[in-house]
Homo-oligomer: A and B are copies of this chain.
């Protein structure tokens, strides 16, 4: 089977590559690298390599391949490689970039370098890139390219087919031509699949589709992704406020948005960046992780301070110290379930002012029911463990209080944070833990202080 053989060969090549690296035969490494692997495979290999090997491999990549490989690399690694080049080299390496990718990349470089790079480009390319640079990266404008193929509505299919045959090639991922009037206003789309089955004598106007709404250039990239997903789009026209066709967005860039978005939610919860380099060097990793640990240390100290208020009670009943992590941790778990559900519901656009009341109410009841159920289990265990009825009653009450509090915090936090323009994926977990720790320890030790005094 061609493909499986191919896949095996890819893995085999990787293995022989790593053998060649081990044996120090750089010529052979370069031959495997530039001979058998596609630019995206090389990028994948670089991303999967520890720093020293990565630098070595990069130095062996053919100059002509560098630009294409860079396009497939994650921001972190690409910026590093580009920072090693002077503006002239940058300009020559990124020649092959599409305007949207180029604009993204330029936005990561210092202003002075951007200007130098733009100056080395020819007039037409510069205008294209500047058109994209004018829009924020996370909008339709930042995602679009200007490589549209446009046709007029009054031409016949026959004429269009002849017109297309004069091209040497059509832009990649062209599934439709865009129909525009004399003023470049967007009118409709002519899918290639329609073009190919249409009567050659028909006019474009007669067969074009007008049920697809063009994408406003200012629309957020997540909404663009939702539109593509909901309507199974391959490419879509982007228009200005006045309806003029500005460019198009293609599914490959939308898939990147979806992937980055998903990575952001997942990595953000652990305080990591979505473009995090898996094989970042030790010092860089240590610095980045240290910040997140420091933030969480504050949370931990707040929890300790709460426990500190009840030192006297713990001294009397040391069983409290043994059981108190249960109350805090169950609250944290219950809260993170509500938090994750709401963050995801918000991401896919399911949560609105109309249904948030119902959701909060359900989470409250679920929290109370699970609080009661597990409170019973924990209370029975505690009573038998320490042979003390009071401690069972206290931990049961504290568990119900903390699970209800966790439900409220987990459900409302993402909404509150979003309203204040704070990223819920990043900050939600830390704040939630602080709340469930404080309420968990305070309710358990507080009730115990009352019960045992």
Q: Which residues of B contact A381 (CB under 8 A)?
A: 301
Decide yes or no whether A40 CB sits under 8 A from chain B: yes
| Interface hub of A213, A258, A377, A437 (most chain B Cβ within 10 A) | A213
Decide yes or no whether A289 CB sits under 8 A from chain B: yes
A355 touches B265 (CB 8 A): no
| Closest partner residue, chain B, to A194 (CB atom) | B169
Complex Cα distance, B363 from A281, in Å, reads 10
Decide yes or no whether A333 CB sits under 8 A from chain B: yes
Decide yes or no whether A180 CB sits under 8 A from chain B: no
Q: Contacts A44-B349, A270-B336 known; A213 to B262 CB distance under 8 Å?
A: no
Q: Contacts A214-B2, A278-B351, A289-B370 known; A232 to B269 CB distance under 8 Å?
A: no
Q: How big is the A interface, by class?
A: 35 or more
Residue from B174, B322, B350 within 8 A of A304 (CB atoms): B322
B293 touches A334 (CB 8 A): yes
| Closest partner residue, chain B, to A196 (CB atom) | B164
Q: Contacts A169-B193, A297-B374, A321-B321 known; A213 to B304 CB distance under 8 Å?
A: no
B173 touches A48 (CB 8 A): no
Nearest CB of chain B from residue A197's CB, rounded to whole Å:
5
Q: Which residues of B contact A290 (CB under 8 A)?
A: 370, 373-374
| Closest partner residue, chain B, to A378 (CB atom) | B297
Decide yes or no whether A121 CB sits under 8 A from chain B: no
Q: Which residues of B contact A251 (CB under 8 A)?
A: 234, 251, 255
Q: Which residues of B contact A303 (CB under 8 A)?
A: 325-326, 329
Complex Cα distance, B324 from A259, in Å, reads 39
Contact with B along A183-219 (1 / 0, CB 8 A): 0001000001111111110000000000001111001
Decide yes or no whether A341 CB sits under 8 A from chain B: yes
A262 touches B258 (CB 8 A): yes
Complex Cα distance, B374 from A378, in Å, reads 34
A326 touches B304 (CB 8 A): yes
Decide yes or no whether A421 CB sits under 8 A from chain B: no
B239 touches A3 (CB 8 A): yes
